[in-house]
């Protein structure tokens, strides 16, 4: 894989030769040796820790394995450093392991491009795959520059077909996107998650779907209103941000018990920074989900200096409590309904915080669902019975009409016959 800092010369666009399909025998020893070299480089890079020193990461980065390693120190400009100093330009792509590449000899990636985890690039030694500067490639993306013949007799020859792929500058590719060979994605384009890109995408457009189609151009999108969304500039602000969607389980559980009063105009709204209510004003009660188990990997220990930027101790806003009978989270309610918590706690029962036993509420809810299903079945049976009676009635009426018509016509013929 090559980045801008390791490409000695770039040919002019007019000098580029484009072959849509190039046939090559991938099973030959030299091609197999190239794949083995790239597999070793990928394995070495994927085993590098995420928090490794930038210089060490640059030395292990898959950037022209045959280059002069003495220049690696000049390549160690990370994306984190560009955030702190915008005048710097990253020279080594920010790639989160694991990444899987077949050959890498004709793969060119801009130094300021970010590639998220589990990216798969099926490149070939006969066609270039180019990813421009400033691109963001989501997790689990797949760029396929190789294919095989459709006809069986041609496919039995066991040849592969290489196809070039070009991704322009500042392209955003969502997660789980598949890009097929022979595709060019223009500068500034956006590809929606889980899309299948089979044809070219014009610059500054938005394409989604399988196959991907253009749904709009960015010039038609209104710019975001300044201040419309909250901004968390520090980790402390981020942890203090109250931002959680309600669960469906909690919604129907609240419908069975006393409804919660609406949030007042001065209370905390979703998306605002959590703040205590003013004195003398009643705020909405805390949700049961505030007692969810704390899965923070820090485990309540003091944070390091990288997170404690203000020199103050940061405490997580979510209440951390062990799994006990007093836990009142939605996940625990589900466990109680399934009878799993009683097994874990030795028969202890929990409540929802308002004096109502959770198991009783779940039983009532299941009974209501069973009665609702039974009523639906009865309604369907009545409808089927009515339709069957209507069909039988129409059929009998038609048969009787045909019978009387036949009798009338037979009588008319008999009465109109001449005597011998």
Give the pLDDT confidence of 338-385 residue by residue, as tens digits.
554 444 444 444 554 444 555 666 777 778 888 888 888 999 999 999
Contact between 192 and 205 (Cβ < 8 Å):
no
User: Residue 272 to residues 229, 238, 243, 245, 285: CA-CA distances in angstroms?
Assistant: 9, 11, 8, 13, 16
- Name the residue among 186, 172, 180, 94 with its Cα closest to residue 145: 180
**pLDDT beyond 80 at 408:** yes
Q: What is the pLDDT of residue 264?
A: 46
Rounded to an integer, the average pLDDT of 29-54 is 89
Comparison of pLDDT for 349 and 57, the residue scoring more: 57
Give the rounded distance of the alpha carbon of 176 from its chain centre.
Answer: 7
Rounded to an integer, the average pLDDT of 191-211 is 96
Contact between 97 and 48 (Cβ < 8 Å):
yes
User: Residue 71 to residues 2, 38, 66, 112, 168: CA-CA distances in angstroms?
Assistant: 14, 21, 12, 18, 27
Q: Counting Cβ atoms within 10 Å, is residue 155 exposed (0-12), middle (13-18) or buried (19+)?
A: exposed
Contact between 143 and 120 (Cβ < 8 Å):
yes
The DSSP-derived string for 315-375 is: --SSPP--S-TT---HHHHHHHHHTHHHHHHTS---B-SSS-BHHHHHHHHHHHHHHHHHH
Taking the C-alpha atoms of residue 77 and residue 90, their distance in angstroms, rounded to an integer, is: 5
Q: What does the angle CA 285 – CA 286 – CA 292 come to, to the nearest 5 degrees?
A: 155
When the pLDDT of each residue in the chain is averaged and rounded to a whole number, the result is 76
Contact between 115 and 79 (Cβ < 8 Å):
no
Rounded to an integer, the average pLDDT of 293-319 is 45
**pLDDT beyond 90 at 148:** yes
- Name the residue among 143, 148, 59 with its Cα closest to residue 103: 143
Give the rounded distance of the alpha carbon of 255 from its chain centre.
Answer: 31
Tokens in use for 117? 């985890």
Comparison of pLDDT for 76 and 308, the residue scoring more: 76
pLDDT digits (tens, 9 = 90+) for 156-197: 999 999 999 999 999 999 999 999 999 999 999 999 999 999
pLDDT digits (tens, 9 = 90+) for 242-274: 888 877 665 655 555 544 455 444 444 444 444
Comparison of pLDDT for 37 and 305, the residue scoring more: 37
| Radius of gyration over every alpha carbon of the chain, rounded to an integer in angstroms | 34
- CATH tag for 4-220 (out of 3.30.70.100, 3.40.50.150, 2.160.10.10, 3.30.565.10): 2.160.10.10
**pLDDT beyond 70 at 414:** yes
Interacting residues of 188 by C-beta distance below 8 A, sequence separation 6+: 168, 169, 170, 171, 203, 204, 218
Q: Are strands 205-208 and 107-109 parallel, antiparallel or unpaired?
A: unpaired
Rounded to an integer, the average pLDDT of 132-155 is 95
160 membership: H or E segment, kind and range: strand 160-162
**pLDDT beyond 80 at 5:** no
Tokens in use for 384? 């089927």
Contact between 111 and 3 (Cβ < 8 Å):
yes
**pLDDT beyond 60 at 278:** no
Q: Is the dihedral of CA 303, 305, 307, 309 positive or negative?
A: positive
Phi–psi pair at 372, nearest 5 degrees:
-65, -45
Q: Is the dihedral of CA 347, 348, 353, 354 positive or negative?
A: positive
Taking the C-alpha atoms of residue 410 and residue 325, their distance in angstroms, rounded to an integer, is: 88
Sequence spans of domains, the chain: 4-220
- Give percent above pLDDT 70 in the chain: 63
Catalytic machinery residues:
148
Comparison of pLDDT for 36 and 48, the residue scoring more: 36
User: Residue 208 to residues 51, 193, 196, 201, 408: CA-CA distances in angstroms?
Assistant: 34, 7, 8, 10, 69
Q: What is the pLDDT of residue 79?
A: 77
Q: What is the pLDDT of residue 62?
A: 58
Q: What is the pLDDT of residue 111?
A: 87
- Name the residue among 136, 8, 134, 142 with its Cα closest to residue 63: 8
**pLDDT beyond 80 at 47:** yes
- Give percent above pLDDT 90 in the chain: 38
191 membership: H or E segment, kind and range: strand 190-191
Taking the C-alpha atoms of residue 109 and residue 113, their distance in angstroms, rounded to an integer, is: 7
Q: What is the pLDDT of residue 229?
A: 87
Q: What does the chain come to in residues?
A: 420
């Amino acid at each position: 894989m090559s980045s801008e800092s390791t490409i000695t010369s770039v040919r002019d666009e007019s000098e580029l030769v484009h072959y849509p399909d190039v046939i090559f025998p991938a099973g030959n020893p030299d091609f197999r040796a190239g794949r083995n070299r790239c597999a070793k480089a990928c394995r070495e890079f994927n085993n590098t820790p995420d928090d490794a020193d930038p210089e060490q990461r640059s030395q292990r980065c898959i950037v022209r394995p045959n280059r002069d390693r003495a220049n690696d120190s000049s390549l160690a400009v990370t994306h984190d450093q560009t955030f702190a100093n915008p005048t710097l330009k990253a020279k080594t792509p920010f790639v989160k392991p694991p990444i899987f590449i077949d050959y890498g000899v004709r793969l060119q990636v801009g130094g300021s491009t970010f590639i998220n985890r589990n990216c798969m690039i099926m490149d070939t030694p006969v066609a270039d795959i180019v990813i421009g500067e400033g691109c963001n490639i989501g997790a689990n993306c797949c760029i396929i520059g190789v294919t095989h013949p459709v006809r069986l007799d041609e496919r039995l020859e066991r040849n592969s077909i290489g196809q070039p792929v070009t991704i322009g500058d500042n392209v955003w590719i969502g997660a789980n996107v598949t890009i097929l060979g022979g595709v060019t994605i223009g500068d500034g384009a956006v590809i929606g998650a889980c899309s299948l890109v089979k044809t070219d995408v014009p610059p500054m457009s938005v394409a989604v779907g399988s196959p991907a189609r253009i749904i709009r151009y960015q010039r038609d999108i209104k710019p975001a209103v300044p201040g419309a969304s909250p901004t968390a500039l520090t980790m402390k602000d981020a942890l203090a941000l109250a931002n959680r969607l309600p669960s469906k389980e909690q919604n129907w559980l609240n419908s069975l018990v006393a409804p919660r009063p609406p949030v007042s105009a001065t209370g905390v709204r979703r998306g605002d920074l959590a703040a205590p209510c003013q004195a003398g004003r009643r705020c909405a009660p805390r949700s049961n989900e505030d007692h969810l188990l704390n899965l923070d990997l820090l485990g309540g220990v003091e944070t390091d200096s990288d997170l404690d930027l203000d020199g103050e101790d940061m405490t997580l806003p979510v209440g951390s409590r062990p799994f006990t009978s007093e836990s009142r989270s939605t996940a625990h309610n589900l466990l109680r309904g399934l009878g799993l918590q009683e097994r874990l706690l030795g028969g202890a029962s929990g409540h929802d915080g308002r004096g109502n036993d959770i198991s009783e509420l779940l039983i009532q809810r299941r009974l209501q669902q069973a009665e609702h299903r039974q009523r639906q079945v009865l309604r369907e049976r009545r409808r089927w019975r009515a339709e069957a009676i209507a069909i039988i009635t129409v059929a009998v009426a038609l048969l009787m009409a045909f019978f009387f018509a036949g009798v009338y016509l037979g009588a008319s013929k008999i009465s109109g016959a001449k005597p011998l």
